[in-house]
Amino acid sequence: MRTLAFQMPDRGGGPTGPRIRVGRPSRRVRTLLMTLGVLAVLGMAFTMFAGFWTDWLWYRSVNYSSVFTTTLWTKIGLFFVFGLLMALSVGLNIWLAHRLRPPLSAMSMEQQSLDRYRMGIAPYKKWLLLAITALVGLIAGASASGQWRTWLMWVNGVSFGQKDPQFNLDVSFYAFDLPWYRFLLGFGFAAAILSLIAAALTHYLYGGLRITSPGARATAAATGHLSVLLGIFVALKAVAYWLDRYGLAVKSSDFKATDNWTGLRYVDANAYLPAKTILFCIAVICALLFFATLWRRTWQLPVIGFGLMVLSAILIGGLYPAIVQKFQVQPNEQAKEAPYVEKNLQATREAYGIDDAQVTEYSGQSSTDDKAQLRDDVDKAASIRIMDPNIVSPTFQQLQQIRNYYGFPTNLDVDRYTKDGKAQDTVIGLRELNLSGIPKNNWINDHFRYTHGYGAVAAEGTSADSQGRPVFTESDLPSKGDLGKYQQRIYYGEKTSTYSIVGGPQKEIDYSDDTGEKTYSYEGNSGVNLSNPVNRAAYAVAFSEPQILYSGAIGEGSRILYNRTPKERVEAVAPWLTIDGDAYPAVVDGKIQWIVDAYTTTNGYPYASRTTLGDTTADSLTATNDSRAVVAQQNQVNYIRNSVKATVDAYSGEVKLFEWDTQDPVLKTWMKAFPDTVKPKSDISPALMDHLRYPQDLFKVQRELLSRYHVDDATTFLSGSEVWQVPDDPTNKSGNAVPPYYLSMKMPDQESQAFSLTTTFTPNGRDNLSAFMAVDAEAGTSDYGKIRILKLPTNTTVNGPKQVQSQFNSEQDIAETISLLSRGDSNVEYGNLLAVPLDGGLLYVEPVYVRGGGLKYPLLRKVLVTYGGSTAFENTLEEALDKIFGAEGTSPEPTEPPEDDGDPSKPTPPPSTEDPTVQEALNDAQKAFEDGQQALKDGDWEAYGRAQEALEDALRRAEDAQAGESGDGGDASPSPSPSPDSS
């Protein structure tokens, strides 16, 4: 027996045999290893500190330190609370299993194998327990800290004031409460499963559980312990079944009427809902049976109960709903599903802000034969923009870049500016810093010398000069024009992606003119001060740039600027917002301000269908320009509001958040979580209000939903007969949706033009037009955000964008001219195809640009117009409209009379051929015209431009000579360039 006792030591003991001494390293080696270890730990510690410290300094520099501290403390709190709970749960169950181990167990081969492990870990039991609990605690804490948004929304949740139609609970329960309850449930499951596994392994290691040994498979203590853990797991499953009942209201499923359907259907309400309730009751009973093993010490009843629960889940939770769907719903689907479709229709329209969309029948055909009246009505219907901001960026670049180290974004922006008391659509872009254009790239140049862009450049959206170039209203360097005096230096912009160090001993290049380079030193308070050596060391580590630590270019007053794009800054100070893909600049109160639209979203709005933001907001522009895409590419949401308008000062980097949607409960919730970060709507100045507009990404989300949810009848919705689609962009071959366009226009029920965002719809799978949609985009007006849809009849065919483009390309005269324009190295680029409602019909206008010859930028050469089946392809918009509406017989000379002719209706008299001066001028004009035609054929646009200037000068001389007054003709409007096919 003594021998046996020696072979089977107590489970807490360990071997006590002689130890073998291993040769120890020398003192020098030990010292070196210890030093290296300490340095490695210090290095890792300082790296972690550098990341934390630089983040804190940045948030403090933008005056949003409360966002940093609130987020940080929330993460720390969740990390420690849930990490500690998980560690205690697992550690307690390991300790308890060890405490309940049997003192001795029957000798067997299984136990002999386990003895080796027991003796091996015996000296390290405490350390092993601490290591396991610490590991699971760290993992659980890190996972929980990622739920800081869920926690803040739950603890600060504000009521929506709307209840779901099934359970009569406020929407806030699904948006704010249910996600937190699901997290707690998931954490509980994880803790129960890990504790069960850890306890079972400990019981097995110490003999409480046996697999191959004869006799009982588990001791009474192990049976009781594991049964309680299984009971907790099953109890949690009961809670899950109960929460699943409410989860049906926000459950995604594919429904033939729509993808990403959310909410209960007939089978959910009549099969899944009662099934979940029954399964909840079964799970509660099963959990009680597991707890009862503390007294009964048998697994029989709990195992039977658990088997019954699994069988019930298969039959009641799976088979029964399938039978209901097959034999009750499918034979009469429309009648069964209609009540639930009605709920989905209402909830989806409310969640996306499209419930007030005004749908009006529209004939699609003109109701009058008076073409002269229609011609007059065009100017009232819209300020047709022929400068496409997505085409003319290279033209801005070529004509206004001035220096290679400046650049413009790929896509310019459309805004409104007042000139002579009248608002006009304006194409605007900023001359930002372009590091790739710096003469010599090195660390000093990239980060100290070239630090900012300079000035805004703007052009009229509705006109071009005689050469097809933009008519600039703000230009040159420094910029001057209609925008007045403002701070022109641009330290923060869409193209500014690297850091700069400013304000120190190293002077910056401000701009260059004929007298040479001008230098400047930043005078703002933006950025983080680098005078402190700790700050410099932290940034040297954070940016992996050791020169920051010791460079002589950094000294007193040096500040480091980073996170410099508008979207980066707004997203950093408001991480709970989703940022629109297109920030745009505006000159406001003497400053350049970037205006950023931001959204609050949730995917917990009951019955509202979900959409993926990245897919919904993709179009032909985002396909070629990633900066235009929504930041949250994979975000699935079923509620969205443009709740915040943000501004970023291009000079100081100051970020301001303004409350825009004062009724949004999601925004109110975040404002409770982060107080004093969002300014009230009343703080928006009138000057800023003039430049706020309806955001493109929200409009694209809404138009995608309205392609199905414009109907309010469940039967029509289910039939799918009224489903629309957003057409592909016909002006390019990207295969992506046509982007929405900003345009000042008048819808049929409006008294005057309003700045609007417009789009078209076609029937699903067809190319003819089914609807035209516009939203009033002018902030500060009573109709702002009002969606108007003109629905065309289904029994007539009105050409859609693709058909209009095909019609343009198929007409012989137009095709020949396009072919002529495309000769040599020239390329034809089609601008935005604008649609404008006009007297029951639709007027389509498309500018056509040519880029080629010696020119590196597109120039407006032609304008395509179609209305009521008639098509015109002329040099100017006015000429094209005149031809469409029967005014093509008028003189193609100046579109406006000379200023000295007081009667606008009186045509310019033809010059007399008897006057030799007039005859000479006409001969020069004829020669210039012929030279221009030849240059056009050769694709030589520089020669063509010179010929047009000579033609204009000759005609003006002829007019002056005829009038007999050499100075009067100078202000006459220049004749439009003759059509290349007019000869």
pLDDT, tens digit, 9 for 90 and up, residues 89-140: 999 999 998 888 887 655 555 566 666 666 767 777 788 888 899 999 999 9
Summarize the confidence of residues 44-70 as an average pLDDT: 91
Is 977 a residue whose pLDDT tops 80? no
Q: How far is residue 166's CA from residue 251's CA, in Å, rounded to a whole number? A: 13
Per residue in 271-284, pLDDT (tens digit) is 999 999 999 999 99
Q: Which residue has the tokens 């008897």?
A: 914
Contact between 416 and 691 under an 8 Å Cβ cutoff? The reply is yes
Per residue in 807-863, pLDDT (tens digit) is 888 888 888 888 888 777 778 888 899 999 998 899 999 999 998 766 678 999 899
Better-scored residue on pLDDT, 978 or 784: 784
Per residue in 515-550, pLDDT (tens digit) is 778 899 999 899 999 988 999 999 999 999 999 998
Is 974 a residue whose pLDDT tops 50? no
184: tokens are 């707690």
Burial 439-465 (b: 16+ CB within 10 A, else e): eeeeeebbbbbbbbbbbbbbbbbbbbe
Is 616 a residue whose pLDDT tops 60? yes
Q: What percent of the chain has pLDDT over 70?
A: 84
Summarize the confidence of residues 879-905 as an average pLDDT: 54
For the chain, the average pLDDT equals: 84
What is the structure's pLDDT at 965? Answer: 39
Answer positive or negative: Cα dihedral of 98, 101, 103, 107: negative
What is the structure's pLDDT at 514? Answer: 75
Name the phi and psi angles at 644, rounded to 5.
Answer: -135, 135
Q: Which own/partner pairs from 99-102 qualify as long-range (CB within 8 Å, at least 24 positions apart)?
A: 100/203, 100/208, 100/219, 100/221, 100/222, 100/225, 101/11, 101/202, 101/203, 101/206, 101/207, 101/208, 102/11, 102/206, 102/207, 102/208, 102/219, 102/221
Summarize the confidence of residues 192-203 as an average pLDDT: 93
What is the structure's pLDDT at 895? Answer: 36
Per residue in 914-946, pLDDT (tens digit) is 455 656 766 676 677 667 766 666 666 667 667
Is 147 a residue whose pLDDT tops 90? yes
Q: How confident is the model at residue 9 (pLDDT cuts 50, 70, 90)?
A: very low
Judged by DSSP in three states, 951 sits in helix
Per residue in 37-46, pLDDT (tens digit) is 888 887 788 7
Summarize the confidence of residues 420-440 as an average pLDDT: 89
Is 237 a residue whose pLDDT tops 90? yes
In DSSP terms, which residues pair with 863 in a beta bridge?
847, 874
213: tokens are 């040994």
What is the structure's pLDDT at 223? Answer: 87
Contact between 833 and 437 under an 8 Å Cβ cutoff? The reply is no
Q: What percent of the chain has pLDDT over 90?
A: 50
Q: Lowest-pLDDT range, 2-16, 185-199, 594-608, 701-715?
A: 2-16
Q: How confident is the model at residue 970 (pLDDT cuts 50, 70, 90)?
A: very low
Is 586 a residue whose pLDDT tops 80? yes
Summarize the confidence of residues 699-705 as an average pLDDT: 94
Is 20 a residue whose pLDDT tops 50? no
Summarize the confidence of residues 761-774 as an average pLDDT: 91
Summarize the confidence of residues 667-675 as an average pLDDT: 96
Is 976 a residue whose pLDDT tops 50? no
Q: How confident is the model at residue 344 (pLDDT cuts 50, 70, 90)?
A: very high
- As to burial, measured by CB atoms within 10 angstroms (0-12 exposed, 13-18 middle, 19+ buried), residue 864 is buried
What is the structure's pLDDT at 61? Answer: 94
Q: How far is residue 94's CA from residue 852's CA, in Å, rounded to a whole number? A: 78
What is the structure's pLDDT at 812? Answer: 82
Summarize the confidence of residues 165-183 as an average pLDDT: 95
What is the structure's pLDDT at 625? Answer: 63
Q: Is the peptide bond before 478 cis (omega within 30 degrees of 0)?
A: yes
Is 169 a residue whose pLDDT tops 90? yes
What is the structure's pLDDT at 980? Answer: 36
What's this model's pTM, rounded to 2 decimal places?
0.83
Summarize the confidence of residues 895-899 as an average pLDDT: 37
Q: How far is residue 197's CA from residue 93's CA, in Å, rounded to a whole number? A: 10
What is the structure's pLDDT at 104? Answer: 60
What is the structure's pLDDT at 786? Answer: 95
Q: How confident is the model at residue 448 (pLDDT cuts 50, 70, 90)?
A: very high
Is 410 a residue whose pLDDT tops 70? yes
Summarize the confidence of residues 599-610 as an average pLDDT: 94
Q: How far is residue 775's CA from residue 67's CA, in Å, rounded to a whole number? A: 34
Better-scored residue on pLDDT, 254 or 593: 593
Per residue in 288-323, pLDDT (tens digit) is 988 888 777 677 777 888 888 888 888 888 898 889
